[in-house]
Amino acid sequence: MKKVRVALIGGGLRGVNYLDYALQHPHELEVVAVAEPVAERRNGFKEKHGIADDMCFEHWDEFFAVPKLADAVLICTQDKQHFEPTMKALEAGYHVLLEKPMSSDARECILMGEKASQMNRVFSICHVLRYTNFFSTIRELLQRETIGQLMSIQHNENVGYWHQAHSFVRGNWRRKDESSPMILAKSCHDLDILLWLADAECVRVSSFGSLSYFKADQAPEGAPLRCLDGCPVSDECLYYAPKQYLTSDTNWPTSAISDDLSYEARYKALQEGPYGRCVYHCDNDVVDHQVVNLEFANSVTAAFTMSAFTRDVSRTLKLMGTKGEIRGAMEKNEIEIIHFGSGKVERISFEDMGGHVGHGGGDMGLIKDFLRLVREDGKSQGLTSAHHSVQSHLMAFAAEQSRMDGNSIHLQDFAQQLSMPVET
């Protein structure tokens, strides 16, 4: 088996986690270079993978300025920093694995896809849910018509109250102008899965939602701008920052607030950094709850709900067919099939992947398949190629437009306004 050589652009948590695959399977994958502006992250990743000094770069421009160093690059920068390095990587002849979302600009999504086709390069998007046992089993059950003809889907993304506060109120994805609308940043995974399960083009989208709770008019009386500045409700506040970040558990999300995880460094981070802010006094503007209604060309309908106001971080769904139902809870590794008439109930359970395995095993499944595609040198495209991903991104852009203007959107018209074809 040919060992694939890769470089990482963007040394944040997602890229670091994906490339743990190289540590577990060194005969399959070798990390040879990294481009990351934060010295602590760059040096930490260098030490972890034994990368040479002259293969560590502060900016992707420095990386692309030298002759081709690897077979492929993983681009795991922030949302608005996806387009430029992706185009440069494809132009330089690299195969590319890009963190979702492709871009916060719909036109950039199609331009990247076109460039990959022109250069005959593998261009995969990190829609990891397609690679999980959970969703691939549901897809197989539908294709076998286990519940007859699929008619409708109810799908919930339960964001979790604390996850919302960490990532979408205090964190990097709190503002549309700095990252993406939440329906794109958080839920393009889910819209992609709905497109895959429905197995037809999406034709119409409508959406409703708002930022209703994490804002100043909901703040307790006397709440300061920062949690450590003498909050009068610290004992009862669910979002009091020290309760989350100053415990003995330094795993994610605590690991995101400081590269130095000592108590002193974390305390300083809460005094000075974004994660110490009161959740009611941040500069966030993304929604904290949203619903999306979808109609597909084969008459399948889907209702998707994303909500911050859940205890667990989980995905749950029900698929309704002409001969039965499928109910699933991803984080519980459980699928239930209910047959009409006979009343027979079948249950499928998967081995617990463990908390260290990202997205129910999907992260490692994605990397494994990307390596296969690279070894084939672009002769085929995988489950999450840009060709498949563009429409699910358009669904997210259309949902956000519908949420803002209150209109139902025909996806073909929406795509034509962007001067791009709808692709599946």
Closest by alpha carbon to 328, among 311, 344, 349, 310? 349
376's CB contacts (< 8 A; 6+ apart) are none
| 337 strand-pairing partners | 326, 346
Q: What is the pLDDT of residues 148-161, one digit of tens each?
A: 999 999 999 999 99
176-200 pLDDT, tens digit each: 999 899 999 999 999 999 999 999 9
CA neighbor of 35 nearest in space, from 68, 75, 67:
75
What average pLDDT does the segment 28-48 reach? 96
- Rounded CA separation 316/274 (Å): 31
Query: Helix (H) and strand (E) counts for the chain?
Result: 15, 15
| Structural domains in the chain plus CATH codes | 4-125 (3.40.50.720), 130-214+285-419 (3.30.360.10), 216-272 (no CATH)
Is-above-0.85 flag for pTM? yes
398: β partners: none
Two tokens, residue 208: 């409703």
The mean pLDDT of the chain is 93
- Percentage of the chain modeled with pLDDT above 90: 85
Q: Strand order in 72-75's β-sheet?
A: 56-57, 29-35, 4-9, 72-75, 95-98, 123-125
* pLDDT band of 416, cuts 50, 70, 90: confident
What was the pLDDT predicted at 357? 47
pLDDT band at 424 (very low <50, low <70, confident <90, very high): very low
Query: How far from chain centre, in Å, is Cα 101?
Result: 7
Residue 360: predicted pLDDT? 63
Separation CA 116–CA 96 (nearest Å): 9
Banded pLDDT at 389 (limits 50, 70, 90) = confident
User: 212 phi and psi, to 5 degrees?
Assistant: -115, -25
Identify the band that residue 1 occupies on the pLDDT scale cut at 50, 70 and 90. confident
Question: What confidence category does residue 354 fall into, taking pLDDT thresholds of 50, 70 and 90?
Answer: very low
Backbone angles phi, psi at 179, to 5 degrees: -135, -95
* Nearest Cα residue to 246 out of 225, 266, 228, 226: 266
Contact predicate 211/283, CB 8 Å: no
At 358, the pLDDT band (50, 70, 90 cuts) reads low
> Among residues of the chain, what percentage have pLDDT more than 70?
96
Contact (CB, 8 A) for 410 and 203: yes
Q: What is the pLDDT of residues 60-107, one digit of tens each?
A: 999 999 999 999 999 999 889 999 999 999 999 999 999 999 999 998
Round the CA-based radius of gyration of the chain to a whole number and report it.
Answer: 22
pLDDT beyond 60 at 422: no
Mean pLDDT computed over 387-393: 86
What is d(CA 213, CA 307) in angstroms, rounded to the nearest whole number? 12
d(CA 126, CA 268): 34
